[in-house]
Structure 1
Amino acid sequence: MESSADKTTLCPSARPELADSVVFGLVGGKVTEPRVTYLKQPLPVTNELLAKANPVTPTEIFRTAAPCASKNCQHFDGQDCRLATRVAEKLPAVVKELPPCSIRRDCRWWQQAGKAACLRCPQIITDNYNPSLPIHEVALPEIVT
């Protein structure tokens, strides 16, 4: 049986260059309304996989997850991911049912905000060069004093 100490909590908004990153979704949809389609199984990030994104950046077409950086992340407040909270509270749901996500069990957003985060997750793109105002505002880290 797996203990909680053995479990890795994954950030579903990680950059692909982070250690132990996996691709868990592909970005599709329109420029103004991107949507992630989730893979049945996450794929380890390799140079060969990232090269398939050429001529665009990998983060424009791949959704990646990596172990949560917790206190080393600008969105972490010492206990929770503020990005997960903002996604769940400030963005509209874009799906009605939980998407079939291969990282859900280990996902920080799922563990913290549950279904509310998952119903909004398909609109999250790591490098979105044309974000809506709500997406832009949610993505900005909060300044904690």
Structure 2
Amino acid sequence: MKEIPTDKTTLCPSARPESENSVVFGIISGTVAEPRVAYLKQPQPITDELIAKASPITPAEIFRTAAPCAATGCQHFDGQDCRLATRIVENLPAATEELPPCSIRRDCRWWNQEGKAACMRCPQVITDNYKASELAVKVAAPHSN
């Protein structure tokens, strides 16, 4: 099996819950039409028990999770930057007027790459969102412009 290089010190704030060393840093709240991330004071490790308790829905429908950035092993990474973070900043409107109280900010790839602009849009990013807007779907696509 090919080993995927990761950046162990930088966290991807849009990682799948199944990712190695993933942590929950937010809970999905809001409404179906306008979901929002409620940030935890401290990130919590993802456990098999936590994933099992989320059934029958996916953990990514109720949790925002982060994990070490997969760097070149990720479809959004261009060798230097996370293109997902760039597309989010360029295309999505701000979801908040103040920086959210995020417990992973210091290690977050999006924060380190895009700064406050990424954080202002982060609360509306839901990993498994089956009611996502057309714009959100386009922004999430790895090869969209």
TM normalised by structure 1 equals 0.92
Question: Residue 14 of structure 2 aligns to which amino acid in structure 1?
Answer: S
Equivalents in 2 of 1:133, 1:83: separation in Å? 16
Cross-structure match for 2:84: 83
How much does 1:7 deviate? 6.2
Cross-structure match for 1:16: 17
Equivalents in 2 of 1:65, 1:109: separation in Å? 11
TM normalised by structure 2 equals 0.92
RMSD of the alignment, in Å? 1.5
Identity %: 71
Equivalents in 2 of 1:143, 1:12: separation in Å? 19
SS at match of 1:41: strand
Structure 1 pair 51–7 and aligned structure 2 pair: CA distance change class (3 A): closer
Cross-structure match for 1:132: 133
SS at match of 1:59: helix
Cross-structure match for 2:4: none
Assess if the C-alpha contact under 8 Å between 2:11 and 2:108 holds in 1: yes
Question: Residue 114 of structure 1 aligns to which amino acid in structure 2?
Answer: G
SS at match of 1:131: coil
How much does 1:55 deviate? 2.6
Q: Structure 1, residues 84-118: CA drift from partner, whole Å, max 9, x if none?
A: 00011110001000000000000000000000000
Equivalents in 2 of 1:26, 1:32: separation in Å? 16
List aligned pairs for 1:1-145, cutoff 5 A. 8-142=9-143
Equivalents in 2 of 1:7, 1:129: separation in Å? 30
Matched residues, number? 139
- After the TM superposition, which parts of structure 1 deviate over 3 Å for at least 4 consecutive aligned residues? none
SS at match of 1:36: strand
How much does 1:142 deviate? 1.2
